[in-house]
């Protein structure tokens, strides 16, 4: 098991489009374990492989109170999304310290392989529905700040670049 470094906005690698996982083999099983460890360590409710610089369609999520209900989505696809939408505040481990409203479908149906390679269909609403849409965006190379106005996005970019320069200087 290992903690993986999380890419931070505006890293251009966050905009790469992930390719399907070809086989749920030992490499993927190890990656799932490392991603779960990294997500729990960072206190996130989800993590997409893109965020750890692996450009394959793999997501881990845990929206449970006890942080003990990990869910694995391999090659996930949204097969249905509700017309009903709502705005909710979002954050992202790749955009630390920034929270803003994003409009999403309130319910989605997602088809994916689980960690054992079994095909399943999940109906989600509430936080899980939001998180799934946020993570599937990452796999397409999309970060939630791209839903915000160019003015807000540029302010966020400037702030994070400055932060990372200061950290690098120490």
Catalytic residue set? 135
The per-residue b/e assignment along 10-29, b for 16 or more CB within 10 angstroms, e otherwise, is bbeebebebeebeebeeebe
CB nearer to ligand GNR: pick between 23 and 84:
84
> What is the helix (H) or strand (E) element at residue 119, kind and residue range?
strand 119-125
Is residue 128 near ligand GNR by the rule CB under 6 A? no
Give backbone dihedrals phi and psi of 124, rounded to 5 degrees, phi first.
Answer: -130, 145
CB of 10: closest distance to ligand GNR in angstroms?
A: 15
Over the window 86 to 125, marking each residue x when it contacts Ni ion by CB under 5 A and - when it does not, the resulting string is ------x---------------------------------
| 92 vs 130 by CB, closer to Ni ion | 92
**Least spacing, CB of residue 7 vs ligand GNR, in Å:** 11
Q: Which is nearer to ligand GNR, 48 or 54 (CB)?
A: 48
Instruction: Determine, following the binding rule CB under 6 A, whether residue 130 of this chain makes contact with ligand GNR.
Output: yes
User: CA of 58: how far to CAs of 49, 84, 92, 160, in Å?
Assistant: 6, 27, 17, 26
Q: Exposed (0-12), middle (13-18) or buried (19+): which is 147, by Cβ within 10 Å? A: middle
Residues that bind ligand GNR (CB under 6 A): 44-48, 51, 90-94, 130-131, 134-135, 138
């Amino acid at each position: 098991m290992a903690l993986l470094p999380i890419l931070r906005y505006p890293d251009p690698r966050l905009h790469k489009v992930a390719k399907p996982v070809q086989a749920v083999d030992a490499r993927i099983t190890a990656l799932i374990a490392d991603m779960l460890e990294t997500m729990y360590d960072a206190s996130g409710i989800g993590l997409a492989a893109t965020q750890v610089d692996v450009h394959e369609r793999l997501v881990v999520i845990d929206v449970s109170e006890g942080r003990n209900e990990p869910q694995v989505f391999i090659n996930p696809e949204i097969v249905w999304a509700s017309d009903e939408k709502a705005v909710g505040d979002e954050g992202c481990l790749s955009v630390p310290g920034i929270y803003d409203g994003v409009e999403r479908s309130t319910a989605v149906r997602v088809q994916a392989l689980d960690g054992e390679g079994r095909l399943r269909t999940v109906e989600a609403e509430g936080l899980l529905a939001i998180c799934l849409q946020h993570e599937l965006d990452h796999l397409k190379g999309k970060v939630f700040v791209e839903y915000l106005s160019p003015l807000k996005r540029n302010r966020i970019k400037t702030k994070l670049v400055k932060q990372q320069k200061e950290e690098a200087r120490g």
